[in-house]
């Protein structure tokens, strides 16, 4: 294990941060002229980078002037990332919490009937994937047993599999018992807020499956995470710590092509750190995985807008979530699907070319 940690740290010692973005026809012309490079799965291009080594960063460097020794790291930004078994392009991921105590819409979908109705509306509104959760992970949330979690999630998952067999379903859980039962019931994605670090049985279980896997960044647990907010550089630290979880999953036998990453907004981050992390979200391109952006109705949106009621933060959620669109194939995890889907269409119409 010690050797693995050293290897992982060395792998992510160097990071490249893309800058100077162009979109649509302008991006294609800049690529043709050799003054920009294509960015992963998108129609965007970047013209400059910051070269980050350890705790030190260069000033902006034009893409044509990057030293030869950095070209393998630069390749991370250019290479397309796998779709992790989901439809290509940007996807709106509808949140379906079956908990009585989530920070937003608490208890609204606690009963299977209301959850199924809400899910069907989300799909009509443009959701490309649904994420079902049975355990609240808000700060200080009460812990529930895996069996209790499954009793909340199971009926909804099984009902959706019957009523909407073609819609990809994700289950938001950190417990292997729920993972195993959910996959047997037809889930295509496991979304783990602990990046497969909570339950020792999760890694070997998922290594035997073919599902997509979301690794989210969090320090501590939902009960203790607010005590773990010291970072040297929050954006670089999150990317490097997620990188170590990516390598742990690959070493355990989970194909890299199945992995997605979520920077964990609101989990072990202060308001200021959340803002910096969002501003620099494209640094996640270094990991070579599809990105999940989960900002919906969070406290950071409320603080930025002065809106205390989480249910009234959907406009801010759309604005913040669109920061991930340059990736080309992000998953935008939201409560209000219709407004997010509309925002994606406008962004594509203007910037997608």
Q: So which residues are the catalytic ones? A: 298, 333
SS3 258: helix
Residue with tokens 């710590």: 241
Q: How far apart are the C-alpha atoms of 171 and 161, rounded to whole Å?
A: 13
Q: Are 284 and 316 in contact (CB under 8 A)?
A: no
How is residue 13 annotated by DSSP? S
If one counts every other C-beta atom within 10 angstroms of the C-beta of residue 103, the result is 17
Tokens of 345: 């269409």
Tokens of 162: 């019957």
Q: How far apart are the C-alpha atoms of 69 and 127, rounded to whole Å?
A: 42
Q: Are 157 and 186 in contact (CB under 8 A)?
A: yes
Q: Evaluate the CA torsion angle 62, 66, 70, 71 in order and state its sign.
A: positive
Q: How far apart are the C-alpha atoms of 164 and 323, rounded to whole Å?
A: 30
155, 159, 165, 167 alpha-carbon torsion, rounded to 10°: -70
SS3 241: helix
Whole-angstrom CA distances from 206 to 66, 147, 185, 262, 339 are 39, 19, 15, 18, 34
**Phi (first) and psi of residue 17, to 5 degrees:** -105, 120
If one counts every other C-beta atom within 10 angstroms of the C-beta of residue 286, the result is 22
Q: Are 170 and 131 in contact (CB under 8 A)?
A: yes
Tokens of 176: 């292997």
What DSSP assignment string belongs to 72-138? HHHHHHHSPPP-TTS-SS-EEEEEEE--SS-SSSTTTT-SHHHHHHHHHHHHHHT-SEEEEE-S--S
């Amino acid at each position: 294990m010690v050797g693995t940690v050293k290897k992982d740290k060395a792998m992510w010692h160097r990071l490249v941060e893309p800058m100077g973005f162009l979109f649509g026809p302008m991006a294609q012309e800049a690529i043709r002229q050799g003054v920009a490079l294509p960015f992963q799965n998108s129609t965007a291009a970047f013209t400059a980078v910051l070269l980050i080594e350890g705790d030190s960063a260069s000033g902006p460097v034009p893409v044509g002037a990057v030293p030869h020794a950095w070209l393998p790291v630069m390749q991370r930004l250019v290479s397309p990332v796998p779709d992790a078994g989901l439809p290509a392009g940007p996807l709106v991921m509808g949140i379906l919490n079956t908990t009585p105590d989530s920070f937003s819409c608490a208890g609204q979908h606690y009963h299977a009937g209301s959850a199924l109705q809400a899910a069907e509306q989300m799909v009509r509104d443009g959701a490309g994937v649904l994420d079902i959760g049975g355990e609240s992970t808000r700060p200080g949330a009460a812990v529930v047993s895996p069996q209790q979690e499954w009793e909340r999630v199971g009926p909804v998952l099984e009902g959706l599999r019957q009523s909407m067999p073609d819609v990809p379903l994700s289950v938001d859980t950190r417990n292997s018992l729920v993972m195993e039962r959910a996959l047997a019931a037809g889930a295509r994605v496991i979304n783990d807020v602990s990046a497969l670090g909570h339950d020792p049985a999760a890694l070997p279980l998922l290594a035997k499956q073919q599902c997509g896997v979301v690794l989210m960044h969090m320090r501590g647990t939902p009960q203790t995470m607010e005590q773990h907010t010291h970072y040297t550089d929050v954006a670089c630290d999150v990317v490097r710590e997620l990188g170590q979880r990516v390598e742990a999953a690959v070493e355990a036998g989970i194909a890299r092509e199945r992995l997605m990453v979520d920077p964990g907004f609101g989990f072990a981050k202060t308001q200021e750190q959340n803002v910096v992390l969002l501003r620099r979200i494209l640094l996640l391109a270094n990991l070579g995985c599809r990105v999940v952006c989960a900002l919906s109705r969070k406290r950071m949106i409320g603080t930025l807008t002065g809106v205390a009621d989480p249910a009234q933060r959907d406009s801010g959620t759309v604005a913040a979530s669109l920061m991930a669109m340059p990736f080309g194939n992000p998953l935008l995890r939201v409560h209000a699907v219709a407004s997010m889907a509309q925002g994606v269409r406008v962004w594509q119409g203007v910037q997608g070319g």
